[in-house]
Amino acid sequence: MFKNFLLIVFVLISFSVAAQKQTAQRYSAKPKLVVGIVIDQMRWDYLYRYQHRYGTGGFKRMITQGYSFENTFIPYLPTYTAVGHTSVYTGGVPATHGIVGNNWYERSIKKNMYCTEDSTVQGVGSSEWAGKMSPKNLWATTVTDELRLSNNFQSKVIGISLKDRGAILPAGHTANAAYWFEEKTGKWISSTFYMQELPTWVNDFNAKDRGGELMKTDWNTLYPINTYTLSTADDKEYEGTIPGEKTSTFPHKLSTITTQKYLAIKYTPSGATLSFEFAKEAISNEKMGTGSVTDFLTLSISSTDYMGHTFGPNSIEAEDTYLRLDKDIADFLTYLDTKLGKDNYMVFLTADHGAAHVPGFLKEHNVPSGTFTDEGFRTELNKAVSDSFGYPNSILNLQNYQLYLDINGMVEKGVDVSAVKSFIIKRLKQNPIITSVFELANLTATLPEPVRTMVVNGFNATRSGDIQFLVRPGYFDGFAKGTTHGLWNPYDAHIPLLFFGWGIPHGKTNRTTYMTDIAPTVAAKLQIQMPNASVGKVLEEVTQ
């Protein structure tokens, strides 16, 4: 009897050791491939708003088999695309990584600067300005850079996005390649920063004209339009139109768009499909995930942003876009399963920012909202300063809710700069939609948290403006049709964050986490140094 008991104990221990060994073997090696997916303008609530209509292989699979950080926020201002993609991959904020907006006023050259423009490079696959891009304006390393640095550049890193900034900034300084979509020709292009000519597989893909093929199919709703009960009516005057169309309603006659079809595809679910298809080609042809070290693909889905700006979060277009995106994600995960094996890749999915509801929609439901234009503010303020101080163009630029003042010019003319600043601040405070105005270099304004920290994190002494203002919830710099983003409010700053695949346990947490935690967490998983401007913390829920 006792011998039998010992035998049973021995067998159980053997099974336990074998299971532990099998688990250790399964997860001891690093993943063959990491894929970072950034859904441009995806509000966190989209994960659950349409959940009952999602399939089992896309968002639901990532949630039920992966780990969801339910309260992930952006910790800086402004909440724009270039800043978001940079902060995801650097773990830094504008104060540390240098990308303060999609555009900013560059005082050193007295002109507006686009985040990825680089006059020292040429387009590859394009002779246009669209190809003259690189990560030159990015001060910091990315987690993709650190991966390459960790193994003497053996890892392969490729960035893909319809937008240049969505491809270039995540891929970093040392990437093997970054590819973006040229709306004039419908081709995927790059620049001489990365290569002298496009690889054969990219030329072959371009020759197929998949964008043109996808645009031959009109955009109808995936399901009967009367079942889209989570969206407002289709025909609303505050919705915009897809380039080349005259109406904002379904069905969208994409097949009739000719000269603008490659621009128009960016506004449709087909833009996401095209991006995923190109990503698969990159993985296959570059043999990513087949070597002895981890490779990294950064994939930004931009069409959700173009669509969102045009139609807004409560539109049928938004609902249909995410239902179709869910299918694209499911298909992509299945591809990775087949290509690499289910336990051999790790994916994180997040967003660069969210979006506000369209003011016209909010007003229909008695919610305070409205728009203004930066240029309108700048014109009015410059006239007021000119009338009071005799200096005609005191404000050189107004963007990112920041005013850039011509301080040197005013000093040369003997104008009291402090008096002008006080005058502008007082004048702005008189506007009923403005809640706070303050000097960025001397932040003494009484601001609640987390707004104060977001302002501080967003301030870069070299590239930011002199005076910043904040506005009421529901208001933004924009126009009567469509919507935008850029502010501190949860509709802009609350983003999804899912980890899935290799070494990721199932679970979720509602504790507050931040966009800047992504890069140090990926670095910890890969056992490499975190990026050199990172201020984030490791998310231990997925690293233990």
Q: Report the interhelical angle of 303-311 vs 269-285 (nearest 10°).
A: 170
Whether residue 81 lies in the annotated active site: yes
Give Dmax (Cα) for the chain: 104
- Asked if residue 454 lies in contact with residue 76, where contact means CB atoms within 8 angstroms, the answer is yes
How much of the chain is helix, strand and coil, in % rounded to 5? Answer: 40, 20, 40
What's the pLDDT at 445? 77
Bond from prior residue into 450 cis (ω within 30 degrees of 0): yes
390: which 2 tokens?
Answer: 């005799």
What's the pLDDT at 444? 79
Per the DSSP assignment, residues forming a β-bridge with 103 are 114
Nearest to 401 by CA among 355, 490, 465, 324: 465
| Cα 73–Cα 347–Cα 278 angle in degrees, nearest 5 | 110
10: which 2 tokens?
Answer: 């021995």
- Does this model's pTM top 0.85? yes
Please count the residues of the chain.
544
Banded model confidence at residue 6, pLDDT cuts 50, 70, 90: very low
The rounded distance, in Å, linking the Cα atoms of 25 and 38 is 30
The rounded distance, in Å, linking the Cα atoms of 277 and 328 is 9
Residue 11 pLDDT > 90: no
Q: What are the tens digits of pLDDT across the range 286-312?
A: 999 999 999 999 999 999 999 999 999
Q: Return the domain boundaries, the chain.
A: 30-363+488-542, 370-473
What's the pLDDT at 7? 47
Q: What are the tens digits of pLDDT across the range 159-189?
A: 999 999 999 999 999 999 999 999 999 999 9
Q: Which of 25-29, 95-99, 104-108, 458-462 has the lowest mean pLDDT?
A: 25-29
What's the pLDDT at 4? 53
Which amino acid does the sequence have at 378?
Answer: R
End-to-end CA distance of the chain: 41
- Asked if residue 369 lies in contact with residue 312, where contact means CB atoms within 8 angstroms, the answer is no
The alpha helices in 124-163, defined as continuous H runs, are: 143-150
Q: Dihedral of the CA atoms 78, 497, 292, 289 (nearest 10)?
A: -90
CA atoms within 13 A on the CB side of 398: 21
Beta-carbon contacts of residue 540 (< 8 Å; ≥ 6 apart): none
The rounded distance, in Å, linking the Cα atoms of 260 and 272 is 18
DSSP string, 300-344: EE-HHHHHHHHH-TTSHHHHHHHHHHHHHHHHHHHHHHHHH-TTS
Beta-carbon contacts of residue 201 (< 8 Å; ≥ 6 apart): 281, 285, 286
Q: Dihedral of the CA atoms 146, 152, 156, 158 (nearest 10)?
A: 40
Superfamily of chain region 30-363+488-542: Alkaline Phosphatase, subunit A (3.40.720.10)
Residue 8 pLDDT > 80: no
Nearest to 332 by CA among 139, 59, 74, 47: 59
What's the pLDDT at 446? 83
Tally Cβ neighbours within 10 Å of residue 495.
27
Residue 18 pLDDT > 60: no
Chain centroid to Cα 483, Å, comes to: 16
Pairing of strands 33-39, 295-301: parallel
For domain 370-473, say whether CATH 3.30.1360.150 is its number.
yes
The rounded distance, in Å, linking the Cα atoms of 487 and 490 is 9
The rounded distance, in Å, linking the Cα atoms of 306 and 267 is 5
Q: What are the tens digits of pLDDT across the range 77-100?
A: 999 999 999 999 999 999 999 999
From the list 81, 90, 294, 298, the catalytic residue is: 81
- For 323-339, letters b (16+ CB in 10 Å) and e give bbbbbbbbebbebbeeb
Mean pLDDT of 141-168: 98
The rounded distance, in Å, linking the Cα atoms of 443 and 441 is 6
Banded model confidence at residue 127, pLDDT cuts 50, 70, 90: confident
Residue 17 pLDDT > 80: no
314: which 2 tokens?
Answer: 């409560």
- Asked if residue 280 lies in contact with residue 289, where contact means CB atoms within 8 angstroms, the answer is no
The alpha helices in 78-139, defined as continuous H runs, are: 81-90, 94-97
The alpha helices in 109-265, defined as continuous H runs, are: 143-150, 164-171, 200-208, 210-214, 261-264
- Asked if residue 362 lies in contact with residue 474, where contact means CB atoms within 8 angstroms, the answer is yes
Beta-carbon contacts of residue 241 (< 8 Å; ≥ 6 apart): 247, 248, 310
Determine the 3-state secondary structure of 518 from DSSP. helix
Residue 120 pLDDT > 60: yes
Banded model confidence at residue 28, pLDDT cuts 50, 70, 90: very low
Residue 16 pLDDT > 60: no
Mean pLDDT of the chain: 94
